Amino acid sequence: MNGVDVDLVIVGGGLAGLSLASRLAAQNFDGSVLLVEPRLEYTDDRSWCLFTPEQSPWAVAATRRWQRWRIAARADAGLELSAAGWCYAYLRSSAVYAAALAKIAEAPRIQLLRGHRVDSIRALDPGVEVSSSAGTVRARWAVDTRPPSIQRIAQATLRQSFAGREMVPSGSFVDDGVVELMTDMHADAHGFVFTYVLPLSPERAMVEATRFSTTTLDPSVLEADLDAVLEARGWASAQVLRRESATLPMGLPVGDRVKASPAVVRAGIGAGALRAASGYGFARIQAWADRCAQALARGAAPCGHPREPRLQAWMDTTFLRVLAAEPERTPAFFTALARALPGTVFARFMADAARPTDLARIVAALPPAPFLRALMHSRPRPSAAVTM
C-alpha cells in the first residue's frame, strides 16, 4: 500500500500492547510498527495472577507460584484446595514490563513512543489514520488496546474493585505456602467483600481488600476495608512497600463490534479480555498476542480479541446476575463450589480450560432457585450512579 508511514500502529502500551509488540520483536517481524503509550515510564504498579499448568511458560516465569489456595467465609476455617499439575502463579509488572521492553529495544523496526495519547483513529480507503499528541501517521492496520471508558465500566454487571498493599507484616505473619484466594467472605451495604493474601516470602505479603459491587465505589471504602483487615490481623503498623488498586469490569458489555475500518481491530480489557466471572485476563491476553503475531507474520491482517464461547458466556452472565442480585448469598455460592469441585476442576474452570463435564459439575454444585430467577430476567438489576 502506498503512502503509509508504518505498517502497524499499536494504540496503547499496556499489557496487551506490550505483549503483541514483544511477540513481533521475537519473531523478527519485517514490517514497521509504532507503539503509542501515554505513560512516560513503566513502574512496578501492579501484578497479575493466574491458574496455569505447572510447566507452562508463565508458571516458569512467575515471581512466585503456589500449589494450594484457601476459600473461607467470615468466621469459617474454610477449605484448602490443590490441583495436581496446576499452580497459582504471580507475576510482578516490573518483571513483565522489563522482559517485553528488552525485546522491543532489540527490534529496530519497532518504535515505542512514550508520553503521547492517541486522540482518534480514522478510517481511510484503504488503511487508517492515527492522530495523537505527537502528530498523525498513516498505517495499513491499527490494533486498539486502550482500556474501556469510565462510561463503559459503569455498564458492567459488576465491578471488581480492590485496594492492596505489599508489606512486611509483623511477627504474627507465617508464610505457609497457601494463597488466601477468597477469605473472610461476607456482604454489607456495598456488596460482596473478601480478603486476598499472597505470601510472597517469609518476610513479605500482598494483602488486598476486594469487592464485587454494582456501583463504582469511592477508593476510601476500599482503603477502610483494608485498614480493618490489617487491624484485625495485627498488621496495622506493618511497613508498606508499595500499593496497588484497580476497578475491573466483570460482564463488560460487548459494545458495537462493527469496525469503522477493516484495518482496525480491538484487544485487551476494552475488547473483553477479562473473564466475566472471575476478572482474570493475563493468560487470555497472551493467547491473543500469540495469534495476532502469527497472523501478521503470515502477511495477514491482525486479529482482535475473539468472542466468548457461547456456553461459557451464558454461564458467566447468569452467574454474575445472581451475584449482583443476591450479594448476601455470594459467600455460600463460592463455598459450595469449593466443597463440591476437585481442585483440578476449579483450576481448569478459572483457567478457561473447563471440560463439558466440569461445567456440569459446577451447575450441579450451585442452588438452582437463584439461578432460575436470574434466567427469568434478561437484564441484571440496574447499576446505580457512581458512589462518592
Domain ranges for the chain, please list them.
Answer: 6-45+91-151+253-297
Confidence check: pLDDT of 382 > 70? no
What is the reported pLDDT for 7? 97
Which residues, at least 6 apart from 355, have a Cβ–Cβ distance to it below 8 Å?
Answer: 348
Question: Does an H or E element contain 230, and which?
Answer: helix 219-233
How many Å apart are CA 261 and CA 281, to the nearest integer?
26
pLDDT of 384 reads 33
264-281 b/e (C-beta count within 10 Å ≥ 16 → b): bbbbbbbbbbbbbbbbbb
- Over the Cα atoms of the chain, what is R_g? 22
Tell me the DSSP string of 178-213: EEEEEEEEEEETTEEEEEEEEE-SSS-EEEEEEEEE
Burial (CB count within 10 angstroms: exposed 0-12, middle 13-18, buried 19+), residue 372: exposed
- pTM of this structure: 0.92
Pairing of strands 264-266, 135-144: parallel
Q: What is the pLDDT of residue 156?
A: 93
- pLDDT (tens digit per residue) in 151-194: 888 899 999 999 999 999 977 788 899 999 999 999 999 999 99
Identify the CATH homologous superfamily for domain 6-45+91-151+253-297.
Answer: FAD/NAD(P)-binding domain (3.50.50.60)
**Per-position DSSP letters for 271-330, written without gaps between them:** GT-S-TTT---HHHHHHHHHHHHHHHHTTPPP--PPPPPHHHHHHHHHHHHHHHH-GGGH
Does residue 22 have a pLDDT over 70?
Answer: yes
Strand ordering across the sheet containing 64-66: 47-53, 86-92, 64-66
Distance CA 57, CA 313 (A): 27
The DSSP bridge pattern shows strands 239-250 and 264-266 to be unpaired
> Residues 304, 305, 307, 313: what is their CA dihedral angle, to the nearest 10 degrees?
-170
**Does 81 score more than 50 pLDDT?**
yes
